[in-house]
């Protein structure tokens, strides 16, 4: 079980959901993963719901900003990468051709972050931790286990993230389709694949661990979710891609887990 008290720079450390129906989303994920919510006020009647599993932070759920609602942006799970300096990371990302949509800003005393879109179009966040390190539990059922980039250009995306975050990105030899493995400071840190279908927008996909994939898929469907792919057998693991009732897409993973 992956309990964490800190993250090395370049490591995925947090996920959160921006959604059109915060209360409904909280209920869905509580039933699916056993998460418990603590609402943290963030101003103007808005709360940031910290989701916990056995008392440990694993994710968060927040209301979608009004500008995104008006633009018709679907609810989205967001991936955060720990960095030593959000300001330096944002500046470097811009130099490498990314778009910094939200310049570095403080999140109370929790940390400092920036919102970035890579040169191919996938969005992610960089997180400079202070009081909040990110998830206290990963690589366990009900917690984040994997972050996967779907992109239109494997080589260009690999070059960008390697230069920005110091990742080593290499082919995963046992995959039937082109798939790249991300390694950060000697630990597996996610993967990169070609976006499908080809006209889809590049994106990061978060995977949450489950003990029994078939049971999790049945439960997600009963709760109003939808299955988009899977179950897919991959060696000793099974994966699936689903969406919650509001339309946010995420992955499910059952199989061996690193500490």
Residue-level pLDDT at 1: 61
How many residues comprise the chain?
A: 259
HSE of 8, CA atoms in CB hemisphere, 13 A: 11
Domain limits, CATH 3.10.180.10, in the chain: 2-129, 141-254
CA separation for the pair 25, 245 (Å, rounded): 8
What architecture (CATH level 2) is domain 141-254?
A: Roll (3.10)
Residue-level pLDDT at 132: 98
Q: What is the 3-state secondary structure (H, E, C) of the chain?
A: CEECCCCCCCCEEEEEEEECCHHHHHHHHHHHHCCEEEEEEEECCEEEEEEEECCEEEEEEEECCHHHHHHCCCCEEEEEEECCCHHHHHHHHHHCCCEEEEEEEEECCCEEEEEEECCCCCEEEEEEECCCCCCCEECCECCEEEEEEEECCHHHHHHHHHHHHCCEEEECCCCCCCEEEEEECCEEEEEEEECCCCCCCCEEEEEEECCCHHHHHHHHHHCCCEEEEEEEEECCEEEEEEECCCCCEEEEEECCCCC
Residue-level pLDDT at 73: 85
Residue-level pLDDT at 43: 85
Residue-level pLDDT at 175: 64
Domain 2-129: assigned CATH number = 3.10.180.10
193: left (phi over 0), alpha (psi -120 to 50) or beta: beta
* Encoded tokens for 255: 């199989």
Residue-level pLDDT at 70: 81
- Each of the 259 residues of the chain gets a pLDDT tens digit; together they read 699 999 999 999 999 999 999 999 999 999 999 999 999 999 888 999 999 999 999 999 999 988 888 888 899 999 999 999 999 999 999 999 999 999 999 999 999 999 999 999 999 999 999 999 999 999 999 999 999 999 999 999 999 999 999 999 998 776 667 899 999 999 999 999 999 888 889 999 999 999 999 999 999 999 999 999 989 987 788 999 999 999 999 999 999 998 8
In this structure, is the dihedral angle defined by the CA atoms of residues 101, 104, 107 and 110, taken in order, positive or negative?
positive
pTM: 0.96
Residue-level pLDDT at 67: 80
């Amino acid at each position: 079980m992956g309990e964490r008290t800190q993250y090395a720079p370049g490591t995925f450390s947090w996920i959160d959901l921006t959604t059109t129906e915060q209360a409904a989303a909280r209920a869905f994920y509580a039933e699916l993963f056993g998460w418990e919510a603590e609402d943290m006020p963030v101003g103007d009647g808005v709360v940031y719901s910290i989701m916990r599993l056995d008392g440990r932070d694993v994710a968060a759920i927040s209301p979608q900003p009004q500008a995104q609602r008006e633009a018709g942006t679907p609810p989205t799970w967001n991936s955060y990468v720990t960095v030593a300096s959000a300001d330096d990371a944002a500046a470097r990302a811009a130099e490498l051709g990314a778009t910094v949509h939200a310049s570095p800003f403080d999140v109370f005393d929790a940390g400092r972050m920036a919102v970035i879109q890579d040169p191919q179009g996938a969005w992610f966040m960089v997180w400079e931790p202070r009081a909040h390190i990110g998830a206290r539990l990963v690589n366990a059922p009900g917690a984040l286990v994997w972050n996967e980039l779907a992109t239109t250009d494997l080589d260009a995306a690999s070059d960008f993230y390697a230069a920005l975050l110091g990742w080593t990105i290499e082919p995963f030899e046992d995959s039937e389709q082109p798939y790249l493995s991300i390694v950060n400071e000697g630990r597996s840190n996610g993967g990169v694949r070609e976006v499908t279908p080809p006209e889809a927008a590049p994106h990061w996909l978060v995977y949450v661990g489950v003990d029994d994939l078939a049971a999790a898929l049945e439960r997600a469907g009963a709760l109003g979710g939808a299955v988009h792919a899977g179950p897919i057998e991959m060696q000793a693991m099974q994966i699936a891609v689903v969406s919650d009732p509001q339309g946010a897409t995420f992955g499910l993973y059952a199989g061996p887990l690193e500490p």
